[in-house]
Amino acid sequence: MCKTEYAVKLGKMVDEKPGFVVSTTFCPYCSKAKKVFDYYKIPHSEILLDNLDYQEQEEYSNCIYGDDPRRSVP
């Protein structure tokens, strides 16, 4: 279940800039996605899941992925 406070936080991040990416520090595809944004000079927001504490990771993941057990980035 996506808690309202996290849905609002995500909504603000998505709305504030043209690009948005959910990533981890060790994901090579995440790095490539961010490089595309940089190459085309597209301002973007990012959530680095592995830089969050466990509780926040779970809450954001619930909002992003819903009930889908497959949780991958970007």
pLDDT tens sequence across 21-38: 999 999 999 999 999 999
The answer on pLDDT for 69 being more than 90 is no
Query: How many Å apart are CA 48 and CA 27, to the nearest integer?
Result: 10
The answer on pLDDT for 51 being more than 90 is yes
**What is the pairing mode between strands 44-48 and 19-23?**
parallel
H-type alpha helices, 1-74: 4-16, 28-39, 54-65
Query: How many Å apart are CA 70 and CA 15, to the nearest integer?
Result: 25
Sign of the alpha-carbon torsion through 52, 62, 6, 15: positive
